[in-house]
Each structure stands twice: as structure tokens, then as C-alpha cells.
């Protein structure tokens, strides 16, 4: 067994959204230690330049590597789109990225119309265009920038009436085109599920890539023989560049669910 097997999985996001991926990692690999870094002090990433997102992603990765991460999960669609190629070149650890789950949505749609809700950075990235061109042939993709939604999750205003109204504005044009799949192209958005549930008709499904990202992380750990043999309680550590109390209260909120 390699010494590094006992090291943690490192996860970062622009903020708290990547915790939707953390939840799936914990569910699938309950023995692995995980270190999570929320860059809430610099959140949101969505309207930043590609260069800025690359610099921040490098900083986040360096932080996790200093803490001994054996693999890095970029639990942020925006950072993946802007920076994953560079991260893979620069650092000698496996990286798992995330991107909007256009492929399964395009495969499963019956109406041939799917919606993608994501940040400006993700929707305008080359990577997203490539994914769309490759996997959504013959399907109409209705894209919507979720302006303000990341901040709503960061500020824990999920259940406020203004959130319902804003999300309704974003969903209405997609629903008017009879989408039956809506891809959650930002890791913050799964935390808005209770609000989506109030607004979506029953025949419309949300597509969250987080479980697939957790499975991909497991496959990579197996491939590089990096799985832990740990049978004692795993250790979870959380760091933020923002407000620690907000992180703690968010962790309590998601763990109580
Ligand atoms: N969770 C990030 C994502 O998946 C949010 C990006 C942002 O901070 O705007 O894209």
C-alpha cells in the first residue's frame, strides 16, 4: 500500500456549492478522509475573467496539496471550464472536474428540449460549447444564466420569497419550450431543490451531475491505487476564505437534511 493512500481527497469550489458534491463523495466512500475548501471570500466566480478563475483555482489547489490531498475534485463547473486543463498540466495529482450533465439529459429527453441553468462563465466557455455540440445533436438546449443564485445559496436565503420569484423568472422560458430535463450546471443549485420542487411540473426532472462525479472519483482512486484501507471513522475538514460561521451554519443545515 502506498503511503499516500491514507491521505485525504481534496475538494474545492468557489464557495459552499461544492458541498453538494462532498455529500455524494461521503455517501459513496464513507471511509475516505476529505478536505473541503470553500473560496467564499472570492465568490462568485461566474462573472470573473478566465485568468482570474485560473489564478484562484491554482491557489485553491496549492492549499489542498499543502494539506496532503492525494486527488483533487474541482467541485465547481465554472472553475473546471476555465482551469482544469491548466491544473492538470501544472500539478502531478489526478483531477476530477465537473461539467453540466448535457449528455444524460440529451439522451433521456422525450420532448427534445432540455434546459441548462449555469453561470455565465460556464455557459460562455469553450468547454461547454464543445460538450453541447458533441452530445446534444438533434436536441434544442435552452440556456439560462442563473444570475444571483450562487449568492442566494452563499447567504442562505434559499427559502425566501424573492428566491422563488427569481427562479420562476429563469425557469419560465424553458418551460414554455416544453423542456423535460433541466441540467443543474452549477454545484450551488442542488441546494435550491426545495424551490425547484415548488415550481416544476411533475414531468420535468432535474439533472445533477454530483453522483456521477463521485463515481468518477472512486474510479480514479481505484485506477491509481489510492483508495484508503481505513476502517476507523473518517476525518472531514472544512476551510473557507470567507466567513467561518456561515460555513458552520451551512454544514449544520445540510447535515440535518
Ligand atoms: N459552484 C460554482 C459552479 O459550479 C459556482 C460558480 C460561481 O461562484 O459563480 O459553477
- Predicted confidence pLDDT, tens digits, the chain (257 residues): 456 688 999 999 999 999 999 999 999 999 999 999 999 999 999 989 999 999 999 999 999 999 999 999 999 999 999 999 999 999 999 999 998 999 999 999 999 999 999 999 999 999 999 999 999 999 999 999 999 999 999 999 999 999 999 999 999 999 999 999 999 999 999 999 999 999 999 999 999 999 999 999 999 999 999 999 887 889 999 999 999 999 999 999 898 87
Residue having the nearest C-alpha atom to atom 2 of ligand 1: 76
Catalytic residue set: 76, 186
* pTM, 2 dp: 0.95
User: For 225, left (φ over 0), alpha (ψ -120 to 50), or beta?
Assistant: left
Cis, bond preceding 44 (omega within 30 deg of 0): yes
For ligand 1, is residue 76 a contact (CB within 6 Å)?
yes
State residue 169's pLDDT score.
98
Grid coordinates standing for 241? 476564505
Q: Is 186 in the pocket of ligand 1 (CB under 6 A)?
A: yes
Phi, psi torsion values for 2, nearest 5 degrees: -70, 150
Cα–Cα distance, 19 to 50 (Å, whole number): 23
The cell for 14 is: 468557489
Q: Ligand 1: distance of its center to the CA of 43 in Å?
A: 8
Compute the distance between CA of residue 234 and CA of residue 41 in angstroms, rounded to an integer. 27
Q: What is the atom index within ligand 1 of the atom nearest the CA of 118?
A: 10
- Contact between 11 and 34 (Cβ < 8 Å): yes
Ligand 1 pocket, residue 57 CB under 6 Å: no
The candidate with the shortest Cα–Cα distance to 13, out of 122, 102, 117, 114, is: 122
Long-range CB contacts for residues 161-164, cutoff 8 Å, separation at least 24:
163/192, 163/195, 164/195, 164/198, 164/199
Candidate from 11, 24, 41, 44 with most ligand 1 atoms within 8 A of CB, to mutate: 44
- Cell numbers representing residue 70 in the block: 492525494
pLDDT at res. 230? 81
- The reported pLDDT for the residue numbered 2 is 57
Q: 64, 37 in Cβ contact below 8 A? A: yes
Which residues are paired to 95 by β-bridges?
Answer: 72
Ligand 1 center to residue 120 CA distance, Å?
A: 9
Amino acid at each position: 500500500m502506498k503511503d499516500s493512500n491514507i491521505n485525504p481527497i481534496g475538494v474545492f469550489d468557489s464557495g459552499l456549492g461544492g458541498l453538494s458534491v462532498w455529500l455524494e463523495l461521503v455517501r459513496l466512500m464513507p471511509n475516505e478522509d476529505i478536505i473541503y475548501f470553500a473560496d467564499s471570500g472570492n465568490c462568485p466566480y461566474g462573472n470573473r475573467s478566465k485568468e482570474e478563475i485560473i489564478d484562484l483555482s491554482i491557489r485553491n489547489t496549492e492549499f489542498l496539496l499543502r494539506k496532503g490531498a492525494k486527488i483533487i475534485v474541482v467541485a465547481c463547473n465554472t472553475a473546471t471550464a476555465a482551469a482544469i486543463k491548466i491544473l492538470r498540466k501544472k500539478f502531478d495529482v489526478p483531477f476530477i472536474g465537473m461539467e453540466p450533465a448535457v449528455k444524460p439529459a440529451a439522451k433521456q429527453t422525450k420532448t427534445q428540449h432540455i434546459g441548462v441553468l449555469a453561470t455565465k462563465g460556464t455557459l460562455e466557455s469553450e468547454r461547454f460549447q464543445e460538450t453541447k455540440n458533441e452530445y446534444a445533436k438533434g436536441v434544442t438546449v435552452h440556456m439560462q444564466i442563473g444570475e444571483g443564485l450562487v449568492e442566494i445559496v452563499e447567504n442562505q436565503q434559499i427559502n425566501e420569497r424573492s428566491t422563488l420569484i427569481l427562479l420562476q423568472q429563469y425557469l419560465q422560458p424553458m418551460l414554455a419550450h416544453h423542456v423535460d430535463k433541466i441540467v443543474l450546471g452549477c454545484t450551488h443549485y442542488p441546494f435550491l431543490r426545495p424551490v425547484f420542487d415548488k415550481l416544476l411540473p411533475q414531468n420535468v426532472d432535474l439533472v445533477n451531475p454530483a453522483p456521477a462525479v463521485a463515481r468518477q472519483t472512486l474510479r480514479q482512486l481505484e485506477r491509481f491505487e489510492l483508495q484508503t484501507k481505513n476502517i476507523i471513522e473518517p476525518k472531514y475538514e472544512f476551510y473557507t476564505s470567507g466567513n467561518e460561521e456561515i460555513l458552520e451554519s451551512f454544514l449544520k443545515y445540510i447535515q440535518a437534511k
